[in-house]
Amino acid sequence: MKIFCSRANPTTGSVEWLEEDEHYDYHQEIARSSYADMLHDKDRNVKYYQGIRVAVSRVKDRGQKALVLDIGTGTGLLSMMAVTAGADFCYAIEVFKPMADAAVKIVEKNGFSDKIKVINKHSTEVTIGPEGDMPCRANILVTELFDTELIGEGALPSYEHAHRHLVEENCEAVPHRATVYAQLVESRRMWSWNKLFPIHVQTSLGEQVIVPPMDLESCPGAP
């Protein structure tokens, strides 16, 4: 059996999903992750909770049940926030199996098992219907798919798929808006992350220059 694990690509800076063997040590993957940093980020968590409360309140004011879809639930924290804020039910999606297993235990230990269903799938594989993962579309979308570049973890395609297939047309979304600020810079060091420059080394014969082969310049990387 193969399991998907996220990896940071040092060349592009993006997060990619790779297949790992079933005997892979997933606990090491969790230990190296940033879950703990996010859990201890009080400012982030307070803002998420405030946004979730507003979203749940809006749905309730329309006389509807608050059904939440939490994509990338991780530990299940945002799902538990949603239920605490008054949501009627929450579907928590987590593709990384060890994390999904942890979320199930955390949700159960905190007494939310009757209102939170953890689904160990990629959000694009979640099914809707009587025999599906969700009986109907959600009317609140909660996600934490963001990195330092905002859209580096595939947030945009995940959002697009969710709006097309998993949530109602006029659903509430947390967060529902973002701004990306960019600054042009010129840096030889940063450029060296994508291009090999000649290397100057000191030897017994004096300074030597190692020039990368031209073939490397046109190499697109591993297939």
Residues marked active site are found at 144, 153
Cα angle 183, 10, 28 (rounded to 5 degrees) comes to 125
* CB distance 7 to 15 below 8 Å: yes
Helix axes 77-84, 42-61, angle to 10 degrees: 40
Return the SS3 of 108: helix
168: its two tokens: 């109602």
* CB distance 146 to 155 below 8 Å: yes
